[in-house]
Chain A
Amino acid sequence: MNKATIITELRALAAEGMPDEPEVVETPASEEPEEGAKKKKPAPPEPRKNGLLELDYVRRGVHVDVQMAADQVVRGAEILDAEGLQLEAITGVDWIKENELEVVYDFSYTGGECFRVVLRVRIPRDEANIPTLNDVFPSANWHERETYDFFGINFEGHPQLENLLLPEDSDFHPLLKDFKGL
């Protein structure tokens, strides 16, 4: 595993298709110092642009955080696969205010030095389509099925996109923020 290669390649990948902008590492609201917690009402964070952030591992638990477009995620996983990382989990987050769903991929390195990478993709809520990682990491199969269960995200090309944890005949997605219970 070579950290520098991963960071360079992912940075290049995430920057693809983005309008050329000066390299301003925007510190999103999530990077606020700790005192931010004490404010009564933090200002609504600016929507984050695609790109790579190197985070403070001690505070966040991940080293590299990359936001990319939906069609880049397979390439991103391939970069990480080539460097010997493993896919630890896939999950979603429902950003209902922005009318977006976020798919989060957690990667970690088990070969020695600790290195955690997270890929995230924002997709529109009403057109929640994203390519599957099943061909790169077979473990994505179940994680994606679980995410499909909970968020209704359609993983294009998934061999068996059926409910995994919820009953086979369920048609609700409980982790969507507009889920009101049964």
Chain B
Amino acid sequence: MGSQALSQNNETFEINLGPQHPATHGVLRVKLTMDGEYIVDAEPVLGYIHRMHELMGENRTWAKYLPNMGRIDYLSALSYNLGYVQLVEKMMGIEVPERAEYIRVLTTEMNRISSHLLWFGAFVLDLGGFTPLLYAFDDREHILDLLESVTGSRLTYCYYRFGGLYNDVDDDFLTGCTQFLKRLRSRMPMYHKLVTGNVILRQRLVGVGPLSAEMCRKYGATGPVLRGSGVNYDVRKNEPYSIYPELDFDVPVYSDGDSMARYMVRMDEIEQSMRIVEQCIAKMPQGEIKAPKVPKLIKPAIGDYYHAVEAARGTFAIRAVSDGKNQAYRMKLRAPTFCNLSLYQEASKGMLLADALAFMGSLDLVIPEIDR
């Protein structure tokens, strides 16, 4: 890639942001060509935590691939679990009992809240504010405790099964969720006062890293990044799956396209997810949590299948090619941040270093998900 200094006769220098750098949250490396504090070119270099999940998908039976789903995006693992089990259910034509669907949506949305809370803290940490991170972690800890009490794990969940769930939830969990929502409702104004309203934060976010809707489309960006650019697209609404059509929630859309818009989208999504969880608790039906007839051997018909869900960071999709055996012939995982990061190189041209890092934070990167 050719790189030219912004002003003539100026020298540029290269600087390696990462693979170990406090702002990249993992092992992302960005090769920066800088002209002073300005970025001339920023080329992300991936693959430092590449684990070849797709090849694993071809070597394991459908059921054995389940634990992998918790380890792609470890922050919203349940969305990935959901995407995968729904794909297999689609292939096999398994009907899932209603109670299981409600519990799935409830836990997935709790997971989404926890993912957004972590992003919120880490993002403010990128901007130099340390304290909100720990407040967010305090709240997130409650979610992890709740999810641990049903799923048994705190981060890399493996809770959903083909046709249902691993185990049922009890009333303690539901009341725990209600209490947590009450707590988070009372904390959100504090976050907004402490962080959203802060003049320094606004200065750092408003107008930084503007992305047009057209650019998002060209780069395949999805999730809060796309919604921050004014596109009302959410797989949960546009391509409804599970019981989302029965639930009443809004898709927050901000049209500014800057980092502040992405920030606000995620903060509003926390509120919307809380609404979804509340409705799930209120509507939770009684009944079975596992489909009565789940074939022991999963051998889908020949062909390829596509399924997309809304993970915390955007559209997560799986394309599975089956050759009629008990293993996938090909398993393609479409990770949202992979596409979201691919626009970084173009969008960060001419930015200040500090702004570029704020912009990177606003994309909400989870490196293991990009590298898969």
Scan residues 222-251 of chain B and give those whose CB is less than 8 A from a CB of chain A: 222, 226, 231-233, 238-239
Contact assessment for A61 and B218 in the assembled complex, using a CB-CB cutoff below 8 Å: no
Contact assessment for B50 and A166 in the assembled complex, using a CB-CB cutoff below 8 Å: yes
Contact of B302 among A29, A89, A141, A160 (CB under 8 A): A29
Given A30-B304, A88-B315, A108-B308: A142 and B55 interface contact (C-beta under 8 Å) = no
Contact assessment for A110 and B302 in the assembled complex, using a CB-CB cutoff below 8 Å: no
Given A91-B319, A106-B319, A166-B50: A32 and B302 interface contact (C-beta under 8 Å) = yes
Contact assessment for A106 and B233 in the assembled complex, using a CB-CB cutoff below 8 Å: no
What does the 1/0 interface line of B212-227 toward A look like (CB < 8 Å)? Answer: 0000111110100010
Residue of A28, A30, A62, A86 contacting most chain B CB atoms (<10 Å): A86
Contact assessment for A110 and B226 in the assembled complex, using a CB-CB cutoff below 8 Å: yes
Per the bound structure, the CA–CA distance linking A113 and B219 in Å amounts to 20
> Could you count the A-B residue pairs with CB atoms below 8 Å apart for me: how many are there?
127
Contact assessment for A89 and B334 in the assembled complex, using a CB-CB cutoff below 8 Å: yes
* Chief secondary structure at chain B's binding surface: mixed
Question: What is B's interface to A at a CB cutoff of 8 Å?
Answer: 1, 46-47, 50, 52, 54-55, 58, 87, 90, 92-93, 216-220, 222, 226, 231-233, 238-239, 299-308, 315, 317, 319, 321, 324, 329-330, 332, 334, 338-339, 342-343, 346, 371-372
Query: Which chain A positions have C-beta within 8 A of B58?
Result: 175
Contact of A60 among B93, B233, B304, B317 (CB under 8 A): B304
Contact assessment for B303 and A165 in the assembled complex, using a CB-CB cutoff below 8 Å: no
Per the bound structure, the CA–CA distance linking A131 and B219 in Å amounts to 18
Given A110-B226, A165-B46: A37 and B301 interface contact (C-beta under 8 Å) = yes
Query: Which chain B positions have C-beta within 8 A of A113?
Result: 238
Query: Which chain B positions have C-beta within 8 A of A6?
Result: none
Nearest A-chain residue to B215, judged by Cβ: A138
Given A36-B301, A36-B302: A166 and B47 interface contact (C-beta under 8 Å) = yes
Query: Which chain B positions have C-beta within 8 A of A62?
Result: 306
Contact assessment for A165 and B317 in the assembled complex, using a CB-CB cutoff below 8 Å: no
Per the bound structure, the CA–CA distance linking A106 and B320 in Å amounts to 12
Given A37-B301, A61-B307: A139 and B50 interface contact (C-beta under 8 Å) = no
Given A30-B304, A37-B324, A61-B307: A110 and B233 interface contact (C-beta under 8 Å) = yes
Contact assessment for B304 and A37 in the assembled complex, using a CB-CB cutoff below 8 Å: no
What does the 1/0 interface line of A33-64 toward B look like (CB < 8 Å)? Answer: 01011000010010000000000001111100
**A112 an interface residue at 8 Å Cβ cutoff?**
yes
Per the bound structure, the CA–CA distance linking A58 and B1 in Å amounts to 43
Contact assessment for B342 and A60 in the assembled complex, using a CB-CB cutoff below 8 Å: no
Contact assessment for A139 and B218 in the assembled complex, using a CB-CB cutoff below 8 Å: yes
Scan residues 50-87 of chain A and give those whose CB is less than 8 A from a CB of chain B: 58-62, 84, 86-87
**A104 an interface residue at 8 Å Cβ cutoff?**
yes
Chain A contact residue count (CB 8 A cutoff): 48
Query: Which chain A positions have C-beta within 8 A of B218?
Result: 86, 137-139
Nearest B-chain residue to A116, judged by Cβ: B306
**A118 an interface residue at 8 Å Cβ cutoff?**
yes
Per the bound structure, the CA–CA distance linking A58 and B319 in Å amounts to 14
Contact assessment for A30 and B303 in the assembled complex, using a CB-CB cutoff below 8 Å: yes
Per the bound structure, the CA–CA distance linking A110 and B220 in Å amounts to 10
Contact of B220 among A58, A88, A159, A174 (CB under 8 A): A88
**A163 an interface residue at 8 Å Cβ cutoff?**
yes
Per the bound structure, the CA–CA distance linking A142 and B317 in Å amounts to 17
Provide 27 A-B residue pairs closer than 8 Å at the C-beta atoms, listed in order of the A residue. Answer: A32-B302, A32-B303, A42-B301, A45-B302, A59-B93, A59-B305, A62-B306, A88-B220, A88-B317, A89-B317, A89-B319, A93-B329, A94-B330, A108-B308, A112-B238, A113-B238, A114-B239, A137-B219, A138-B218, A138-B343, A138-B346, A139-B219, A165-B50, A165-B371, A166-B50, A167-B47, A174-B55
Contact assessment for B319 and A86 in the assembled complex, using a CB-CB cutoff below 8 Å: no
Output the least CB separation between A60 and chain B (Å).
6
